Structure 1
Amino acid sequence: METKHTIPVTVLTGFLGSGKTTLLNRILSENHGKKIAVIENEFGEVGVDNELVIGADEEIFEMNNGCICCTVRGDLIRILDQLMKRKDKLDYIIIETTGMANPAPVAQTFWVDDEMRESFSLDAIITIVDAKHVWLHIDNSSECQEQIAFADVILLNKIDLVSEQELEKLEQKIKSMNSQAKLYKSKDANIDLNSILNIKAFDLDAKVELNPGILIEEVPFEWCGIFDFNNEEYQIKMTDGPDPSIDVVIVALNDNSDVEIEKAKKSTVKIFSEEYKEIKPDKFLNANRAHNRLLITGDQQTYYFKPSKKGFYAIFTQHGPEEFNMQFESSRAKSSATEPSGIKKSTNKISLDNLKIASQNLILPLKEIEFAHSHEHDNAVSSVGIEDESALNIEKVNEWISWLLREKGTDIFRMKGILNIHGNDERFVFQGVHMLFDAQADRKWRADEKRRNQLVFIGKNLDREELVNGFKKCIVKNQPKLA
């Protein structure tokens, strides 16, 4: 029997500043003879990782050595869908997760989706550990712990920055957290690629034993309601909630069976990754498999939609409807003496028991489904991004960064970016991890690109105003200022 060819996938993870980008640059530069696609995912307001990866100017581009590099600006599945179209040109895929990510939901993509499972096979989860700074996070960061626990291979990086005794202590700690993973040591993420690529190390059964919840699919929405609509106008009414907007997708169903709803769920995961259209109050949503973002501008607001035909529909919402006191109504006027069809005491999220906006035209769902919440980052960790085209004074930049390292180094997990230095034709790349810092000239600014600064700070107790003001003081006078 012929075995169907699948493209092997490696998930590369590791806490902020561990050396993931360094390893990726090695992979993209080395003449290994493989056509590898690299997918990056960032945590932060300003995306700079694609600037730090060699030549990564486009969302998908081919390197001189045959590699393809992708920067995830939407959802992983959307990018993988694109790569499937050029499957015959690929030998391998590497997914670099954000340093603040649990790798499990990323890995999950390759067994919960039938199409993905037929095209790709998860080869291994590789975790890079910063031997110098991991002790600052290993006992109090769930993300750091999850990355180590779920690894098939662990690369202890930056071993030149610690003593033999410190390294031995760290090895013992890591083995107590994950005794099954292969352990390698490196300086500057220098490792034989044959040790981490195409090694067939991922074992789903072992991961399930470690965390049975890994089989529960994570989706970008929390609620779905199944409705029987006519070809007429309907309203969505809600009050303000925890967020200034809520994403909504409406999908027509052939019937209201579980099989049909499951198909709609899988397609909606992809729709949620597509570009959204902002919908202001009193405007119409697109009721045909489109990504709508409802903007919440007041205490109460109404939005409209009209199904294209009579039938069953699934409405998927980013958050639970009870968080916004959301209700669905028919726009047809009804007699005040007539109780609207379908209204009754129930345990529905949308019910008369918890409505704050009374209505006689209320439409209740035939059934409701709640989904597991997507993984969230540690709320104590945040990012501050700065983008500006002004030229900077190199001496003032040095003074500012030196002050940050001295006064805020323990709180800044990661800083990285591109600098536009006054009087210099070259970009300056800087990267820092806690109190370690490196900056150097990169390449010349191209004639067709804007000279600009892109900085990202990730850590705890970050003061946005303080960071922005510090940056402003580095700007050369008579240059455009930050707005």
Structure 2
Amino acid sequence: MSDKIPVTVLTGYLGAGKTTLLNRILSEPHGQKFAVVVNEFGEVGIDNELVVGADEEVFEMNNGCICCTVRGDLIRIIDGLMKRKGQFDAIIVETTGLADPAPVAQTFFMDEDVAEKTRLDAVVTVADAKWLTERLKDAPEAKNQIAFADVIILNKTDLVTPEELAAVEGRIRAINPYATIHRTQRAAVDIADVLGRNAFDLERVLEIEPAFLEEGHHHHHDEDMQSVSITIPGEVDPARFMPWVNELVQREGPNILRSKGILAFKDEPKRFVFQGVHMILDGNLTQDWKAGEKRTSKIVFIGRNLDRDSLRKGFLACAA
């Protein structure tokens, strides 16, 4: 993992403050160099003009949303960047405000060359404290951006009352109980809270917040967005689990925005960590279970119209 280039996907609805955050990242004296990929909807690029030109080269993809027509562009740009490895420390992809981040994230698993050379560090969503509640009613993309985030920058907090701020944070938590939230004005946030998070690594999330997958978390739910977490207090049989989870995401993939898990496989000293984006699953064996550590298996699903009982029954049937 260590020699893979980290990629941060910066998303958020139109006008939330993504470009402000990006400019802040690029102009702070952190000593790092970034390759920036900016995508906006429409043939004429404006975002490019708005991004400060520290030393960074901005690669622009126009006329199409990053999550549909220009995924090929993204793969080509990353491919080109890899030929200049060593000239930058990380990649930042700023999506159009109308993008669903899921297909963007999928690119980093689906394309073999991209997956071999880069790793998705985190999906960072900028949310507008004043308008988010309205957007959640009429813009499915806004809801997906919140559901999919590892880190949420709740911006423009100076434009709302403390009560309104608490209410909008409640809406965010109902959709995504797991993301870290930072309240900001003009996207003023410590760069370390946004970059180098390893937030897409469930292992690390659990180190920071051991209760991340605990029962009880899943009582948060939005009208149509849910999270379901299930724990087996023991080992899982891979011969049962693999076919079950593969069949599940093929069937329910469109409804499952994110899936993650840490499993203790029978007769396997290492822990198996997996994560998924819709129908794409990626997993591998990581570090050993420590001596005396309780071998438990936990998974979480975030998505729409999830059948909690069926998921629970299916996973529990995989117990060794």
Report the TM-score, using the length of structure 2 for normalisation.
0.61
Q: What corresponds to 1:54 in structure 2?
A: 52
Residues 160 and 187, structure 1, Cα contact 8 Å, conserved in 2: yes
Distance 1:31 1:212, change over 3 A: closer
Query: Unpaired segments of 5 or more residues in structure 2?
Result: 63-69, 203-244, 246-256, 262-274, 282-320
Tell me by how many angstroms 1:167 deviates. 0.1
Task: State how far apart, in whole Å, the 2-side matches of 1:213 and 1:160 are.
Answer: 34
Q: What corresponds to 1:5 in structure 2?
A: 3
Tell me by how many angstroms 1:41 deviates. 0.5
Question: Which of 54, 57, 71 is residue 60 of structure 2 equivalent to?
Answer: 71
The alignment's C-alpha RMSD in Å is: 2.3
Q: What corresponds to 1:208 in structure 2?
A: 259
Tell me by how many angstroms 1:141 deviates. 1.2
Question: Which of 118, 128, 133 is residue 131 of structure 2 equivalent to?
Answer: 133
The one-character-per-residue Cα deviations of 1:23-44 (angstroms, maximum 9, x if unpaired) are 1111121111111111101013
Residues 285-364 of structure 1 aligned to structure 2 (within 5 Å):
none
Q: What corresponds to 1:91 in structure 2?
A: 89
Residues 162-311 of structure 1 aligned to structure 2 (within 5 Å):
162-203=160-201, 207-208=258-259, 214-216=278-280
Q: What corresponds to 1:396 in structure 2?
A: none
Larger radius of gyration: 1
Q: Give the percent of matched residue pairs that are identical in Structure 1 and Structure 2.
A: 51
Secondary structure at 1:138's aligned position in 2?
helix
Task: State how far apart, in whole Å, the 1-side matches of 2:94 and 2:112 are.
Answer: 22
Task: State how far apart, in whole Å, the 2-side matches of 1:214 and 1:25 are.
Answer: 31
**Correspondence 1:104 to 2:102:** yes
Q: What corresponds to 1:118 in structure 2?
A: 116
Task: State how far apart, in whole Å, the 1-side matches of 2:20 and 2:111 are.
Answer: 31
Matched residues, number: 206
Task: State how far apart, in whole Å, the 2-side matches of 1:25 and 1:5 are.
Answer: 26
Question: Which of 155, 158, 161 is residue 157 of structure 1 equivalent to?
Answer: 155
**One-letter amino acid of the counterpart of residue 94, structure 1:** I
**One-letter amino acid of the counterpart of residue 27, structure 1:** I
Tell me by how many angstroms 1:209 deviates. 5.7
Runs of 4+ aligned structure 1 residues displaced above 2 Å come to 203-206, 208-213
Query: Unpaired segments of 5 or more residues in structure 1?
Result: 56-62, 218-483
Q: What corresponds to 2:238 in structure 1?
A: none
**One-letter amino acid of the counterpart of residue 34, structure 2:** I
The one-character-per-residue Cα deviations of 1:411-465 (angstroms, maximum 9, x if unpaired) are xxxxxxxxxxxxxxxxxxxxxxxxxxxxxxxxxxxxxxxxxxxxxxxxxxxxxxx
Task: State how far apart, in whole Å, the 1-side matches of 2:279 and 2:35 are.
Answer: 26
**One-letter amino acid of the counterpart of residue 182, structure 1:** T
Task: State how far apart, in whole Å, the 1-side matches of 2:52 and 2:37 are.
Answer: 13
Distance 1:68 1:171, change over 3 A: same
Residues 133 and 171, structure 2, Cα contact 8 Å, conserved in 1: no
Task: State how far apart, in whole Å, the 2-side matches of 1:193 and 1:141 are.
Answer: 29
